[in-house]
Amino acid sequence: PFSPYSSPRSIRKKSPLKESRRVSIDKSGAYLQLNQYRLLDSIGQGSYGLVKLAYNAEDNTHYAMKILSKKKLFKKAGVFGRKNQNRKEINPLDKIYREIAVLKKLDHPNIVKLVEVLDDPVEDNLYLVFELVKRGEVLHLPTKSPLTEQKAWEYFRDVVLGLEYLHFQRIIHRDIKPSNLLLGENDHIQIADLGVCNEFDGIDACLNNTAGTPAFAAPEAICTTSHFSGKAYDIWSLGITLFAFVYGHVPFQAESIPALYNKIRNENLTFPEEPDISESLKDLITKMLCKDPVQRITLQEIKVHVWVTRDGEKPLPTESENCHLVEVTDEEIRDVVTSVPKLDTLILIKAMLKKHSFQNPFSMNPRIRGLHSTGRSHSAPGSCEWFSSLPVGSSSALAPVAESIISHKTSKKLSQE
């Protein structure tokens, strides 16, 4: 089924980065354990991999472990293709590892923290361990109970500061939406679902394909084959998000993706009569949703807009106060991941992925509901209208997996499948 809300393919003391030198793996019982992380139920799935709830007994904390496909990351990074005989060969993972090294060093109160990365050098899997934000999504769309203008103002300012920090690090998010904005215990927003291969050189990214969520896609991304500004794309998505904050739904809606894209390209923005919002807020949303990316308001202009600053009474921190450039060394890039040395220890996950036996990520069994107070996956897809009409799957939880001895020949055969 089609949903415009989900993707078709989410000031604190800085804790020291975790760098493991040895990996202990245990397959006993119903769950797989990677190092100190016990992998529990699946809590989300995106175009680039599965998200599982992970428990660390050492600190008694739950995390969100994102299992990525390196092949898909290679394709996204453009490393596939004909080799240039005159160019020195490089490891295709170098670019990905460099970006992960940058993500690990991001330290901002409005950005979800990447804790650790595990890599299986033989198989296709890459494991990103993120903190699990306590209160979950800021808003589930659609809703009949949108945010008040005051609360939207507070949360929007958080998102602006987080997005400015990402752009300062030359990172384009490409999927800003309410389900990727999570509420911490201090009632401040953290931007989640940071991807890999979204880094750019120079002053802006030149994108040439659509990504993210249809209802939040910018018109220039769906009406041309030429390159377009990555920063302007994020501003458009942020404008759709601000509209949804106060109205509870997106401004452009349709029954199919082609019809939706047609409205995004050609339909004028209109504001519902209810709820009644201020003219200054309407002015900001209108400027953010300008269909011409060249004329669209910039992030720096948003920061000084009268609605954001309360007519200058509540200015946001300057860029120099809010941002510091993250730099990584060759050593940090080299040590950014912990290698998982054996193939057969990860066959359990591969079998679950191939058989699609993981839990429906949009249902919540009693055990997961009990963990909801601990947090939510930073990258689980957002809610949408048609979820309420979908039948609940018959197998909503992972079935126990019996321990078995896998021979070297069997593991080799599975790896070739």
Q: Which residues belong to the annotated binding site for ATP?
A: 66
User: CA of 204: how far to CAs of 18, 139, 158, 172, 398, in Å?
Assistant: 31, 29, 22, 9, 43
Read off the DSSP letter of residue 257. Answer: H
**Whole-Å CA distances, 294 to 4, 80, 106, 222, 340:** 25, 32, 29, 16, 46
Locate tokens 């384009």: which residue? Answer: 172
DSSP class of 111: B
- The Cα 278–Cα 307 span in angstroms is 9
The bridge status of strand 61-69 relative to strand 228-229 is: unpaired
What would the two tokens of residue 265 be?
């390209």
Partners of 125 in the β-ladder: 69
The 8-class DSSP code of residue 376 comes to B
CB 295, CB 218: distance < 8 Å: no
- With CA atoms as reference, report the closest residue to 165 among 305, 377, 317: 317
51, two tokens: 């998200």
Cβ atoms of residues 239 and 291 within 8 Å: no
352 by DSSP, 3-state: which? helix
Cα separation, 216 vs 4, in Å, equals: 8
CA angle 98–103–107, rounded 5-degree value? 140
Q: Among this protein's residues, is 175 annotated catalytic? A: yes
Let me know: does 68 contact 386? Beta carbons within 8 Å: no
Q: Pairing relation of β-strands 189-191 and 181-183?
A: antiparallel
Buried-state track 261-294, b at ≥16 Cβ within 10 A, e below 16: beebeeeeeeeeeeeebeeebeebbebbbbbebe
Binding residues, as ranges, are 66
Is the preceding omega at residue 315 within 30 degrees of 0, hence cis?
Answer: no
Q: Is 99 within 8 Å of 333 (Cβ atoms)?
A: no
User: DSSP for 82-105?
Assistant: ---TTS----THHHHHHHHHHHHH
Q: What does the alpha-carbon distance between residue 161 and residue 111 come to, in Å, rounded to a whole number?
A: 9
Given the residues 119, 120, 158, 175, select the one marked as catalytic.
175
Active site residues: 175
